[in-house]
Structure 1
């Protein structure tokens, strides 16, 4: 959180599902997950300032197509405080929309943190936060987190491993409902229990290779271009793991070092100029 001339600026880091195991489905339709989540240094930004009424302005490279109305998740987060306080909220949208990296949920979480400071009010309780969306609770922190259940059970694990990450989105929208609906099995094994020390990069990559994103297969069927993204990332020199994040279509690759990651980014920008490609690492905690 930073403060500038009475305005509070809160980062909304991109969420990367390093793993995403679908372990069941409740009678009400909600899916049960076991997911390891990290946040990156790259993300949107929410800025709030005192005002007589509640307003939202959206700018940034991915602002087109977003509507600053009462149904926007940021506005819903503001109203979840249950007060009539005003605020001028600005959402700077640096992440692709509906891309599987938690943009909207991270924006809502950032709005909650920023408005809590601006208004001097406690952040709403966990049940209220969960009603905003299944990913909002985990986005309340930038620490490495293990998300269970429908997103309501969060184990924070401390600072994320210092991985060199490349994010790629082919600028194709994927329906989360369609991806979940395409799952061949709704009851799969959870993550392995022998999670390594986050300070050991090599052990982390080895462990992650043995885990899964169960949504990857149905997402690849829904959007075959994801195959191209994952194949291109895997083929890059220094790439140690390529996987889809969330329900897609953003994919990520881990690299042995920042030099090989940056070289891969340059190569992919030349070969796929329409893709969104971003170099990043773990968010500060």
Structure 2
């Protein structure tokens, strides 16, 4: 293991989308049991790590002001310190987070940033770590960090720590929309009054294309949608706008909100919808992209 490196290392932190999310129970420690399908879009934050004597973090990008780079609770710094302690690294790093994803938006942004930090620093510091050790280290940072570290389509269960890969997910065109409202996850779970769901069966085969993917997702749901709409009614407006856009096969809220996504028939219809929504609602954050296979 080397404590120094010659060049800067950058890693992307892609938006995590809950294509489906079922709340199946609650554990004695307060964590909810979840079941669903996650995927990642090619819309992302970026972490850059450069050699330095001490550990530091700066934040730029359109959502930089929503984060406190110096806070002890900052997940990027927590990830860096945890890795350094685990691996016995004495070197520091100058970390920079380009924050392009909205905060508290149901996109796993903080967890994705932490996962990208781990990947960047493993490369920068030359750390050798077993996959099981890395998984446990990531889980200690937060329930979503292991799945973001995995970074590929997967079925997740438990508190999000059990990850079953799904190969062959079609690179479906998507439009992501956030109405500019931060929705804290604890508030949504407090508002969740529905009975717990039964876990749907895991697909034996991946969908053959975008239309089949949308059809399968239409038979599932996000159990937190109603609760999130009580916290942020604008979520309903976003879903209505996406569903009425030409070419949208299915629209759903991601995670605990407030970001919603639509899966579109093709790239042209997704880009047109994104342009139309951004023009009609300039206060909304709107991006088009594709799911990563």
Give the structure 1 partner of residue 80 of structure 2: 78
Give the structure 2 partner of residue 38 of structure 1: 39
**Deviation above 6 Å: which 4+ runs of structure 1?**
none
Measure, in 2, the Cα distance between the counterparts of 1:195 and 1:44.
32
For the 8 Å contact 1:226–1:249, the answer to whether it is kept is: yes
Give the structure 1 partner of residue 219 of structure 2: 210
Give the structure 1 partner of residue 142 of structure 2: 133
Measure, in 2, the Cα distance between the counterparts of 1:273 and 1:99.
17
For the 8 Å contact 2:9–2:49, the answer to whether it is kept is: yes
Residue 155 of structure 2 aligns to a residue whose secondary structure is: strand
Give the structure 1 partner of residue 171 of structure 2: 162
Query: Cα offset for 1:196?
Result: 4.2
Query: Cα offset for 1:142?
Result: 2.4
For the 8 Å contact 1:168–1:277, the answer to whether it is kept is: yes
Structure with the bigger percentage of helix: 2
Residue 279 of structure 1 aligns to a residue whose secondary structure is: strand
Measure, in 1, the Cα distance between the counterparts of 2:48 and 2:208.
33
Give the structure 2 partner of residue 251 of structure 1: 260
For the 8 Å contact 2:155–2:202, the answer to whether it is kept is: no
Measure, in 2, the Cα distance between the counterparts of 1:143 and 1:136.
13
Query: Cα offset for 1:147?
Result: 1.0
Give matches, 1:117-196, under 5 Å. Answer: 117-123=123-129, 124-185=133-194, 187-194=196-203, 196=205
Residue 64 of structure 2 aligns to a residue whose secondary structure is: coil
Measure, in 2, the Cα distance between the counterparts of 1:63 and 1:122.
32
Residue 100 of structure 1 aligns to a residue whose secondary structure is: coil
Give the structure 2 partner of residue 227 of structure 1: 236
Give the structure 2 partner of residue 53 of structure 1: 54
For the 8 Å contact 2:166–2:206, the answer to whether it is kept is: no
Query: Cα offset for 1:143?
Result: 1.3
For the 8 Å contact 1:25–1:186, the answer to whether it is kept is: no
Measure, in 1, the Cα distance between the counterparts of 2:148 and 2:226.
25
Pick closer, same or farther for the CA change 1:79–1:263 going to 2, 3 Å.
same
* Residues 1:113 and 2:119 are matched in the alignment: yes
Measure, in 1, the Cα distance between the counterparts of 2:68 and 2:285.
22
- Give unpaired runs (5+ residues) of structure 2: none
Give the structure 2 partner of residue 237 of structure 1: 246
Pick closer, same or farther for the CA change 1:257–1:18 going to 2, 3 Å.
same
- Give unpaired runs (5+ residues) of structure 1: none
Which deviations, in whole Å up to 9, do the C-alpha atoms of 1:112-170 show, x marking residues without a partner?
Answer: 00100111113553222111111100001221111110111111222532101000000
State the TM-score, normalized to the length of structure 2.
0.92
Query: Cα offset for 1:193?
Result: 3.1
For the 8 Å contact 1:143–1:160, the answer to whether it is kept is: no
Measure, in 2, the Cα distance between the counterparts of 1:199 and 1:144.
15
- Number of aligned pairs? 281
State the TM-score, normalized to the length of structure 1.
0.94
